[in-house]
Chains A and B, each alone.
Chain A
Amino acid sequence: MNNDRISKSIPPHVHTWQTGRKSIWIAVLTLIPVIAWSIVLFGLPAIYIWGSTIFTALITDGISSLVMHKKFYVSDASVLTGILIAAAMPATVPLYIPILASIFAILVVRQFFGGVGSNWMNPAMAGIAFAYVNWPQSMLPQLNPLNWQLDTLTGASPMAAIQEGFNAYYNTSPSIMSGLISGADQAVTSFLNIWIFNPLHAKLPEGYVNFLLGLNANTLGEAGLLFIILGSIVLISLNLVKIEIPAALFIMYLVLVKIFGLGISDLPTVDTNILTSLTMGGFLLCTFYYATDPVSSPVTRAGMIFYGILVAFLFYIFSRHRAFIEGGAFAVIIANIFVSSIDKLVIRIKILLRSKSA
């Protein structure tokens, strides 16, 4: 009605440039290289998966708001939800799974609880968990999506291959997983070793470039690890994410890995390798995109840190006893349950401290 006029006449008349919509669209922009790269790697199936989740999310949002609120309104957040759901899908998944997961995420988790800003659970994570729990077989990744690059591959399961790789690393060659090294990896690693690491008397084992470029990725999102790292730098520098959550999550997870290990190898030095732990199981995607969703995370600073630690614990547990490759979704969903309690506790302590000091 007169909303515009009213908002004009009341102070403050100046604002920060950040808005909810802008932060969503910038997050989407940072994910576009991930989408593009996964399409390069996986081809047509990737296009179908990304397209189906985004499209389904938008349609579901529009229809449900028309039915529930008698007003056609599509929230920008649906685009991000669709992208995040697709990021956790393996390239070989049948198309009905991402579509149903998107419908579940938007309709049940977001719209039934009151729309954008009112959902207590991260809708994208709920969609991912929905898919993993209902169709565990289809959600198992095909380890070898890129036959043309990984011709030496023989392992039957990813963990076995990694295990073999680690053993090989410590016995013979300086790579973290000799069975999975692509030509690109060898080229980049040797280049970096000659120009950067050898002058510093260090040596980069082969295999990390594979991870960065997603050459042995399990899901679409993991394929763009390099771009996720770049995107997270953009999001943090523009102050669009709650920085306390990824910071706490990062530190806590690394501490846990250092102490208890990843559970992938008998050799303690391999098991507690930090770089390996960061590249596995969509950890970075979980840290910077899944766990930092503003709506379903705490609002207080202490609460954010506590939440980050909680997610790190759960993520560690899920990734160590890996029933599903995307442990992050379950970790975030379970941590979401505690968010309102965390906020209540922190604010109560704050009020108590203030009344004491006053």
Chain B
Amino acid sequence: MRRIKKFRHGGLYQRGQAFVGGQSIENAYLPNHALLIFREHEAAGEPDLAVNEGQLVNEGQLLAKATRNNALNVHASIPGIVRKIMTIPSPEGFNTRALVLSLQGHFKLNGAISGKRPWQSLNRHELSFVLQEKGVACTATGLGLHQILGNAHGVDTLIINAIDSTNYPAHEIVILEEYLNEVMEGCAIIKKASTVQSVLVALSGSRNQKLEVNIAKAAESFDLQYRIEYFSDKYPQAFPHQIISALGVNKNKNPCLFLVPGTLYAVYNAVSLNRPHIDQFVTFGGDVLKHHQLLKVRIGTPVGRLIEECGGFIHAPEIIALNNPMVNGCISNLDTPVSKTTRSVWALSKSATRLGVPDNCIRCGACIQVCPERLDPYLMYKLLGSGSIEKIRGQLDACTSCGACSYVCRSRIPLSVHFKNKKKEKLKDEQ
């Protein structure tokens, strides 16, 4: 019996009903209109438009080319006519340009049996170029994968992060199970494209014998050195800091690369099948959604259409949250499209969110006990209120905005958002 690993300090267990996993992945219907956003990340640059309004484009055609820092190529997820180019607010609160495509023409990539690209003969830079050209983004962070690889100097371990530590999991484990060979081939490509020596599969929960056998088979066929570790479901175990802490290795000595199975599947598609990053796996769940489903969705599909496909709402939701409800934003508009960073959509009722109006701090001390970085959110909040930021500069830098402190706050003070905003302000001041 292998020991289940977990980080040492703080953290919390979310009790209650989780979305039941182990389901199969289904393909979502193709949208009539796709809304493609240009920026996935607040710090990302805007790509330059490569098409005009009214132009007919093919499936997978380049729509916007990345020329600036952190920018990503945008491809047409469906064939059609470019209807409109506009600016919309993203779920994370920043504005981005976007492009509306109306379905027209025929699908060239879909179902086409194309030969596999012999990527084994490509070198590191060529692979990185392919990833950049196909607009592959890290689905967890929204950064370009070529950029992450370019910055990862001396990395020797690739960690496949399939840990679910909340009641609102992204179901990366299902993707890993269903597309195991594709994901492992993605690993092999990343190994070739970087200095990675070995692969660590990070799973949560109890031992999964069947998956272990399958991983062993797949790893053998791609000649990968691998090991499997099981992690606790204590939140925020899925965060890179906490995985490193649970493994008990020195971060400065052994830098690691963290990727989720969804990203590796996109890598496989881009490099091996020559297919741009136009598909995304999205979990639909929450207590007011009729059917919980894991769908393979074309990027740009409006969320409302997909919710319809899941049977719609049982009653009006209090909130529709994206990805991890502890950290990420929510959507107020059902026309919001699925983007490269959308991994799950949660339609939640009042009884699931337990939202409340912020109140005075009652000094219960729960935030201090729960902080996985051993910070003092109570003190930070008080000092931020009085304006003396200098004293907590170090603590602000160490905060990972995991939201554990806000989750347990008995007065419903949005602590982690305060810290995140202050951090941003501070960075702006320094520049």
Contacts and interface: CB of A to CB of B under 8 A. Distances in A.
Nearest to A114: B360
B348 interface: yes
Contacts of B407: 12, 14-16
A18 B410 contact: yes
Interface in B149-199: 167-168
Given A11-B403, A15-B354, A115-B360, A350 B329 contact: no
Interface stretch (A131-139, A249-257, A290-298): A290-298
A23 B364 CA distance: 11
A122 to B, nearest CB: 12
A15 B357 CA distance: 12
Contacts of B394: 351, 354-355
Contacts of A15: 353-356, 406-409, 412
A20 B354 contact: no
B132 interface: no
Interface in B343-380: 346, 348, 352-366, 368-369, 374, 376, 378-379
Interface of chain B: mostly helix, strand, loop or mixed: loop
A14 B352 contact: yes
Contacts of A297: 363
Contacts of B411: 19-20, 117
B363 A295 contact: yes
Question: For the side of the interface on B, what is the size category?
Answer: 35 or more
A347 interface: yes
B78 interface: no
Given A13-B321, A14-B168, A294 B362 contact: yes
A19 B12 CA distance: 16
Interface string A1-40: 0011001111111111111110100000000000000000
B410 A23 contact: yes
Which of A14, A20, A242, A294 has the most chain B CB atoms closer than 10 A to its own CB?
A: A14
A16 B354 contact: yes
A19 B406 CA distance: 12
B365 A304 contact: yes
Interface residues of A, number: 37
6 closest pairs, A vs B, by CB?
A117-B360, A299-B365, A13-B325, A12-B326, A12-B403, A15-B354
Interface of B: 12, 14, 167-168, 318-319, 321, 325-330, 332, 346, 348, 352-366, 368-369, 374, 376, 378-379, 394-395, 403, 406-412, 414, 416-417
30 contacts: A3-B358, A7-B357, A7-B414, A8-B319, A8-B330, A9-B329, A11-B326, A11-B329, A11-B403, A11-B416, A12-B327, A12-B407, A12-B414, A14-B326, A14-B352, A15-B353, A15-B408, A16-B12, A17-B354, A18-B408, A20-B362, A21-B359, A117-B411, A242-B365, A299-B378, A300-B376, A301-B369, A350-B376, A351-B395, A354-B394
Interface of A: 3-4, 7-21, 23, 115-118, 242, 294-301, 304, 347, 350-351, 354-355
